[in-house]
Amino acid sequence: MLSLALIEEVKRLLDEGRLSQRAIAEKLAVSRGTVSALATGKRHVFGREQQAGEDPSTLPLAPPERCPGCGGMVHMPCVLCEALAYLGRHEPLERAA
């Protein structure tokens, strides 16, 4: 479930009217369907509450991408591949510097 802070940011950008729905979806790494549903009123402003110690300004900077190691759609670096490498079950990928 998306965080309430993220949903409120989508709604704020929609109300501002300076970005297209597609641009908002790209900027905040949410689906275009979510942005469209908020814009048309099919989805109301709700989401999971902020967890203790969670910084609401830590939104993903880029959309998820396909991990070359496991093939999952993740925000890099892939935590699964790092965990498997730690356990010795997977070859670690070289990180780009």
User: Domain containing 28: what range?
Assistant: 1-55
Residues 50 and 68 placed together within one structural domain of the fold: no
Please give the tally of structural domains in the chain. Answer: 2
Residues 72 and 51 placed together within one structural domain of the fold: no
The whole-number pLDDT of residue 19 equals 93
The pLDDT of residue 86 is above 80: yes
Cβ neighbors of 77 (< 8 A, separation 6 or more) are: 93, 95
Residues 51 and 69 placed together within one structural domain of the fold: no
Residues 50 and 71 placed together within one structural domain of the fold: no
The whole-number pLDDT of residue 97 equals 47
pLDDT band at 88 (very low <50, low <70, confident <90, very high): confident
Residues 70 and 88 placed together within one structural domain of the fold: yes
Q: Is the overall model pTM greater than 0.85, yes or no?
A: no
Q: Give residue-wise pLDDT tens across range 29-70.
A: 888 988 998 888 877 666 556 555 555 555 555 667 888 988
CA distance 17 to 43: 18
